[in-house]
Structure 1
């Protein structure tokens, strides 16, 4: 009859600071990557020229810019708009009614302008594009001590129960969401569970359960490692 024990792998919450030491018999494994959003301003786009009349005006929307064959990111982070004749003047001070927003681009309509001959200036836009896919976090995982809360029982209804439920009932602590599991026999610590010749349930949802009725021969004692993680 095989005996089971188990251990959990704890994934510490992502942090950019120093990891807090945890008491364990197994060394922690740390995965570290850099986190940052590289952002780049595009060129100034000027793909259309103001048209006369009503409706008329100037349109430097993202759709128009892409239609002219220019590459522009799907979700710009910022936008800057300026009048071609007044590149150093804030868009709010050029004296025209202009829609300049990061969601769509720039639109100026002649009918919104004042004066005897209302006509939009020629405008230019540029956008700030950031690659958020390059940002990852720092994650550390450690293994818990070995757990051994049950002992194999004889008979058809017996076996060994090192399930998560059983471990919690014994007063031990287990993380809420295990991320991995490994199992092995106490007598055969280096032998994969699949080579022991026994029918054993070993997974992150249940833990480890070995039932005598499922075995072809003696139910020897098996050693189980289960990995669990916090995110």
Structure 2
């Protein structure tokens, strides 16, 4: 996707609008775009990139914390307490408090996709299947036959030898 130079994504500060409730297994930490929009005036036309970290371990990669966390540009961050296990780093089976920052395309008219689009030509592929079936005789058809008669050369006698061969032919 090409944007003018002033429409390149810009990183937000660290965002933290949700805090996990350690006494509720149905709780978790939900730094989702939906929750962020409910709790602030944050506007992001399009999230291009996302970065997620644990508040208490900002320099530790999430994978090293051994918590099951979803962090993506489509939804934001989701961590469910019920998905966590006791581990060597985190002794309680609950989510840590996480923060996210997002690289957003500015909400300027020139940066947003417009309703008018440039027509594009999409090549199409047509596949044609040709099936042929040899005709099969139906019970009402009678197979034809060809009769060939072979005559032996005549001799000086007056008798003629004759031999007849019948060869069935198949319809084509």
TM-score range, shorter chain: 0.5 to 0.7
Partner of 1:27: none
**The one of 71, 80, 85 aligned to 1:114:** 85
Unaligned runs of 5+ in 1: 1-33, 136-231
Q: Is the 8 A contact 2:105 2:111 kept in 1?
A: no
**The one of 35, 41, 53 aligned to 1:70:** 41
Q: State TM-score, norm by structure 2.
A: 0.54
Could you say what the CA RMSD is over the residues aligned between the two structures, in angstroms?
A: 2.2
**The one of 10, 21, 40 aligned to 1:40:** 10
Q: Is the 8 A contact 2:68 2:84 kept in 1?
A: yes
Q: Which has the higher contact order (CA 8 A, sep 6+)?
A: 1
- Name whichever structure is richer in strand by fraction: 1
**The one of 92, 97, 103 aligned to 1:128:** 103
Count of residues in Structure 1 that have an aligned counterpart in Structure 2: 102
Alignment of 1:76-225 (within 5 A): 76-115=47-86, 117-131=92-106, 133-134=110-111
Q: State TM-score, norm by structure 1.
A: 0.41
Quote how far apart the aligned CAs of 1:38 are: 2.5
Partner of 2:150: none
Structure number with larger C-alpha Rg: 2
